[in-house]
Chain A
Amino acid sequence: MDRRARISAILRRVAGKDGLPEADESLFESGFLDSFGLPDLVSALEKEFSLTIPDADLNPRKFESIEKIENYLDSRV
């Protein structure tokens, strides 16, 4: 499974929804995820990609969309 598919699977599981917003669309403004889904998303990303996201990186904007999540993961490589 490629990285985009793994992120998509996490998002569907955390949000409990089937569809997905566009890759550059806000997960929050689109109503896909609420504020309380964000900590679950971060925890799931840590588990799936075997990384620890430091508190200093916990800026919601870094996880605003699928593309931004990918950018953040790129920055951690």
Chain B
Amino acid sequence: MAFLKAFGSWLPERVVTSEEAASWVGTDAQWVKNVSGILERRFARDEESVADMAARAGADCLERAGALASQVKMLLVSSGSSERQFPGPAAAAAQKMGLSDIPAIDLPLASAGSLFALSLASRLAEQVGEILVIGAEKMSRLVAREPRERGVAVLFGDGAGACLVSPESGMCQVVDSQIASDGNFSDDLYADVDSPIRMNGRSVILQASRKIPGAIRILLERHGILPEQVSAFLMHQANQNLIVRIAEALGVPAERFYSNIDRYGNTSSASMLIAAAEWCREHTFEPGEPLVFAGFGAGFHWGALLARAV
């Protein structure tokens, strides 16, 4: 299976505190913190597009990998907040990064999109060559739509994350992945073309609380690994309370789940790759240590990916 060569990220400069976000919906920062763990999030400028953010995270990733744009043979961009119905941001992001004459493919999957893209890339890399995976989201565009719901508008932020998937070498090797979808719940989390985000929070939490640990367990059991043997869980940053619950369900300390949701909020499909980029900057890989990536989102789509440090 393929290797994860490097991660990259890009976050907008503007910090939106939970005091400011709470003021939109008549609540306070303490409530936001209690229900989500979020203290602040970043919002992009009006003129910054999803493709701009994707290209910046992609460039950061290539620089960290010591790779040239010409080495990239395919681009996968996940986003649930693209400005246009079509085309998605992949082609424009490719152009901004100087990636020419390669397939630039959009995956319009919010939240779980980068996990799905990573899973697909890890299976395709041997045939295609190096694949750049990006998750980029401008959730502030959706959050600004009225009416703003208290339990939704305060949760989201903007950002982009990236990973270069290589068939030959990298900091860790993908062992396996487990992805799935269930359209029975497609009305429980969605945004129409011009609507605000609609979320049945109870359904999302109930399903995510079972499906994420379930996918992780299936994956680990296939390879004879116990959850407590996993060095780090790099998960979609949806809600700190959900992250803690999933850690409890797996019987591992919550500290094993890297979290930056307090600083960036829920950046949807970008969040897992941003978290991975930060975690990799702060940690040295021990050869053989297992890492788990996991995500869950609108659809519902969910899954997990197992990698081992090289």
Q: A: which residues have CB within 8 A of B?
A: 28, 35-36, 38-39, 42, 55-56, 58-60
Q: B: which residues have CB within 8 A of A?
A: 182, 184, 200-203, 205-207, 209-211, 241-242, 245
Return the contact of A58 from the options B201, B210, B241, B245 (Cβ within 8 A).
B210
Cα-based distance from A38 to B202 in the complex (angstroms): 7
Cα-based distance from A60 to B203 in the complex (angstroms): 6
Contact A60 B182 (CB under 8 A): no
Contact B211 A55 (CB under 8 A): yes
Residue of B nearest to A59 (CB): B203
Cα-based distance from A6 to B231 in the complex (angstroms): 40
Residue of A nearest to B242 (CB): A36
Contact B207 A58 (CB under 8 A): yes
Contact A60 B200 (CB under 8 A): yes
Q: Nearest-CB distance from B32 to chain A (Å)?
A: 15
Return the contact of B202 from the options A35, A55, A56 (Cβ within 8 A).
A35
Cα-based distance from A42 to B210 in the complex (angstroms): 10
Which residues from A are CB-within-8-Å of B184? Answer: 56
Cα-based distance from A21 to B246 in the complex (angstroms): 28
Residue of B nearest to A38 (CB): B206
Return the contact of A35 from the options B182, B205, B210, B211 (Cβ within 8 A).
B205
Contact B207 A55 (CB under 8 A): yes
Q: Nearest-CB distance from B303 to chain A (Å)?
A: 14
Cα-based distance from A59 to B245 in the complex (angstroms): 19
